[in-house]
């Protein structure tokens, strides 16, 4: 029987990313055919909503052609700076599940989820949790493919669109793969497609039946060998994490400014609770805690404190943040507040326990994280946050 985590690679692809980000700013665009792209005579489509795609509109298409295909099309000029900012938050979500995140673009990444086998029942549960976290925190749709290798995971996410989840078990991955059109494979362009057409190859299953020697004659030895491997579902590339994370942070900009240290400390307490969860899911512990305070005049200050030993426990992070709060002036309104963990190292290293820090806090933190991963973030939490009436709790 296959392991519940035999399919250990997730491919996450945000759906119509630029369009959906614009819809957050302009809700009136929901349900309407929209593209983000250049609106002039030489402009092209950068992103198309699924309503627009129903008319044959697609990315990289000339905008003029898209308008002819869809007369009611709404064209929104791109704001790449804003998309980059939102992308950073998307990748924060990815890295809150695993430190092994390989970004492919602003809105797409592979994630190695093998380290989550103790927190989730099976791989599909992780995919569901990733989609839920993105939706809850960012109000954006995402499609996730779960498989044993990169090739199958990416193809699975494509078949899951829009806003879906596709898990391909190891034992049925060839059945899934061979039913897809051959153009789905990496490396099949117009020239190789024409050569394969001459061989009567329409699906990946057709390709798998062609001897590699014949492929080599038609499209070259290197390309033929590569396609033969892919048609057999063979892809041994590991997820290569982006540059090692130097810090993990939680911050929020408030629509209603914070006033006074009491309100700020309640928010810091909430941030520390969320930050500890991210550290645990990433398998990391922090030696340095920082807080970030931005006032309404945009003046920003930071304060940092080094812990006695690395920790991923909310109580330890909160005690450090509370100490740092004593070094901050709280008489001016605050529009942004954040907590960051840095000097990261793998969790599980021996801790230097103080007299006032019994090991039971680590056990409690682990139990809380297990409950949250199984039943949801809101099912258990500190009493202080449960009782808080401010309504500012993020997500």
Q: Are strands 142-147 and 165-167 parallel, antiparallel or unpaired?
A: parallel
Burial annotation 346-385 (CB, 10 A radius, 16+ → b, else e): ebeeebeeeeebeeeebeebeebbeebbeeebeeebbeee
Cβ-based neighbours of 283, under 8 Å, separated by 6 or more: 98, 99, 115, 346, 347, 348
CA distance 256 to 55: 42
List, edge to edge, every strand of the sheet that includes 284-295. 247-258, 334-346, 284-295, 300-311
CA distance 314 to 342: 14
CA distance 211 to 311: 56
Catalytic residue among 108, 133, 265, 377: 108
CA distance 317 to 264: 15
267 classed as catalytic: no
Is residue 24 helix, strand or coil? helix
Catalytic residue IDs: 108
């Amino acid at each position: 029987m296959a392991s519940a985590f035999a399919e250990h690679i997730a491919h996450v692809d945000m759906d119509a990313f630029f369009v959906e980000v614009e819809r957050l700013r302009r809700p009136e665009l929901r349900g309407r055919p929209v593209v983000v792209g250049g609106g002039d005579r030489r402009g092209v489509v950068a992103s198309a909503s699924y309503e627009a795609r129903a008319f044959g509109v697609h990315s990289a298409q000339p905008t003029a052609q898209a308008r002819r295909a869809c007369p009611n099309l709404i064209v929104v000029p791109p704001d790449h700076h804003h998309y980059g900012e939102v992308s950073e938050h998307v990748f924060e979500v990815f890295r809150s599940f695993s430190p092994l995140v390989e970004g492919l673009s602003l809105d797409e990444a592979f994630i190695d989820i093998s380290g989550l086998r103790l927190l989730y029942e099976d791989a599909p549960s992780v995919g569901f949790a990733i989609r839920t976290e993105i939706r809850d925190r960012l109000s954006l749709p995402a499609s996730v493919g779960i498989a044993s290798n990169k090739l199958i995971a990416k193809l699975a996410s494509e078949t899951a669109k829009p806003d879906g989840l596709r898990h391909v078990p190891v034992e049925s991955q060839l059945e899934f793969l061979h039913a897809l059109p051959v153009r789905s494979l990496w490396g099949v362009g117009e020239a190789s497609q024409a050569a394969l057409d001459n061989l009567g190859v329409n699906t990946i299953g057709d390709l798998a039946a062609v001897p590699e020697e014949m492929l080599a004659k038609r499209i070259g030895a290197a390309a033929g060998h590569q396609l033969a491997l892919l048609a057999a579902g063979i892809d041994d590339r590991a997820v290569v994490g982006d540059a090692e994370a130097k810090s993990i942070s939680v911050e929020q900009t408030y629509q209603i400014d914070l006033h006074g240290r009491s309100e700020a400390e309640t928010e810091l307490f909430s941030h520390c609770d969320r930050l500890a969860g991210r550290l645990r899911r990433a398998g990391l512990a922090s030696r340095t805690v920082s807080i970030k305070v931005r006032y309404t005049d945009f003046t920003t200050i930071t304060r940092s404190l080094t812990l006695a030993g690395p920790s991923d426990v909310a109580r330890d992070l909160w005690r450090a943040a509370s100490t740092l709060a004593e070094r901050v002036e709280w008489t001016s309104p605050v529009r942004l507040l954040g907590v960051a963990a840095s000097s990261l190292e793998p969790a599980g290293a021996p801790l230097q326990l103080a007299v006032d820090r019994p090991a039971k806090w680590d056990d409690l933190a682990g139990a809380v994280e297990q409950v949250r991963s199984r039943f949801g973030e809101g099912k258990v939490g500190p009493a202080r946050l449960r009782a808080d009436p401010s309504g500012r709790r993020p997500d």
